[in-house]
Amino acid sequence: MNNFTFYNPVKILFGKGQISAIAKEIPQGARIMVTYGGGSIKRNGVYDQVMEALKDFYVLEFSDIEPNPHYETLMQAVDIAKRQQIDFFLAVGGGSVIDGTKFIVAAMEFEGEDPWDMMTKRTPVKKAVPFGTVLTLPATGSEMNSGSVVTRVSTKEKLAFGSPLTFPKFSVLDPEATFTLPVRQICNGVVDAFTHVLEQYLTYPVNAPLQDRMAEAVLLTLKEEGPKAVQNPQDYDTMANFMWAATMALNGVIRPGVPTDWSTHYIAHELTALHGIDHARTLAIVLPSLLRYKSEQKKEKLLQYGSRVWGVNSGTEDERLEATVEATIAFFESLGIQTKLSDYEVGEDTIDTIIERFEARGVKDLGERADIQIADVRQILTMSL
């Protein structure tokens, strides 16, 4: 097992009715900005529950944070919040609203010229305004981690930052808040969470059996509960299990002491930045090719994953490796998520563009062994055509 540091101070309030508990978690007298997206929270009752819970606070609303939240939009929120002396934020929505709010709280206290430097120059966050979240879409895990991904429209860049200062103070996970989700978003959420686990699991063995089994526990839960959630999105227990699994997929619990490989996310972000393809779908495009391309290097863990999650136990080693990738693809496609670039009408010219962008940005050494270079990215994407 590798050395590690684990720290996650997010308080989780899980279950029906928990939105009403948020007032106790926010400092008395706080001036709150409630951030949200396109307004689905007004149709499913979450907005009303939040406003009722906050009725004794000063509340300002900032809506229309888009999927893959835009730097340009978020900077407007920063501007308004500074003028209104906001000192607490409440993100109500899915990963985009939460990621966007993490950017806002850090940008509020940023002391340099442009908070975008947190992404491009890795300028560290030194201070941030506290915030909480009310989650409405199980998927990204952002409700219980400190990471954030933001898109800059002007440059078509989608980049990440994070800091111990951008953990939410609390997150409410009420499965009932997911009951009106469109099927498309549920499917995306299952694939996003499933991929998060695989990126912390499909590397090489370091004799960490507990972390392996915990990762498999999340995978098996998503495998079983995901399709049920699509069929029956108003079944409380199903949505509760899906919701908790998606949070546990990326809150650090399965990650300590093991290598990780975030290259799927890194490459896939380009497809969203360039073509606006749903985040989860871009993962489903990149991951299978990456696994096939690196199957020799990831062999031990791929075979374990195939056996323990998909029951792939017969055939030669090569056959089992391929059957494991096929099982993963079949799972994604059973959720209506296609896995080829051509399914999204994206062709070779996009691969050229991504390679050019990576060359300009100086990307190298992706993967758990730092052995995925730009030329390998081209190969992987070509396999996904």
**3-state class of 298 per DSSP?**
coil
Closest CA to 380 of 249, 259, 216, 270: 270
* Sequence-distant (≥ 6) Cβ neighbours of residue 110 within 8 angstroms: 117, 118, 123, 125
Smallest distance, a second copy to C-beta of residue 18, A:
7
* Sequence-distant (≥ 6) Cβ neighbours of residue 355 within 8 angstroms: 374, 377, 378
Nearer to a second copy, 164 or 336 (CB): 164
Nearer to a second copy, 2 or 28 (CB): 2
Smallest distance, a second copy to C-beta of residue 214, A:
5
Smallest distance, a second copy to C-beta of residue 3, A:
3
Nearer to a second copy, 225 or 278 (CB): 225
Nearer to a second copy, 123 or 211 (CB): 211
Nearer to a second copy, 38 or 130 (CB): 130
Smallest distance, a second copy to C-beta of residue 9, A:
4
Pairing of strands 31-35, 88-93: parallel
Please give the radius of gyration of the chain, using alpha carbons only, rounded to the nearest integer. 20
DSSP state of 366: B
Residue with tokens 């995901």: 226
Smallest distance, a second copy to C-beta of residue 33, A:
24
Cα–Cα distances in angstroms (integers) from residue 365 to residues 186, 261, 325, in the given order: 33, 11, 23
Q: Around Cβ 130, how many Cβ atoms within 10 Å?
A: 16
Smallest distance, a second copy to C-beta of residue 365, A:
23
Nearer to a second copy, 14 or 204 (CB): 14
What gap in Å lies between CA 64 and CA 234, rounded to an integer?
26
Nearer to a second copy, 151 or 251 (CB): 251
What gap in Å lies between CA 330 and CA 259, rounded to an integer?
26
Cβ–Cβ under 8 Å, residues 256 and 192: no
Cα–Cα distances in angstroms (integers) from residue 306 to residues 107, 208, 269, 311, 326, in the given order: 43, 18, 26, 6, 10
* Angle of CA points 53, 57, 59, to nearest 5°: 95
Which residue ranges make up the site for a second copy (CB under 8 A)? 1-18, 207-211, 213-214, 216-218, 220-221, 224-225, 237, 240-241, 244-245, 248, 253, 256-257
Nearer to a second copy, 258 or 267 (CB): 258
Smallest distance, a second copy to C-beta of residue 117, A:
26
Smallest distance, a second copy to C-beta of residue 108, A:
23
Q: Around Cβ 16, how many Cβ atoms within 10 Å?
A: 11
DSSP state of 372: B
Nearer to a second copy, 43 or 213 (CB): 213
Nearer to a second copy, 2 or 154 (CB): 2
Buried b (16+ CB within 10 A) or exposed e, 47-58: bebbeebbeebe
DSSP state of 70: B
Smallest distance, a second copy to C-beta of residue 373, A:
30
Smallest distance, a second copy to C-beta of residue 245, A:
5
The amino acid at residue 319 is E
What gap in Å lies between CA 193 and CA 218, rounded to an integer?
9
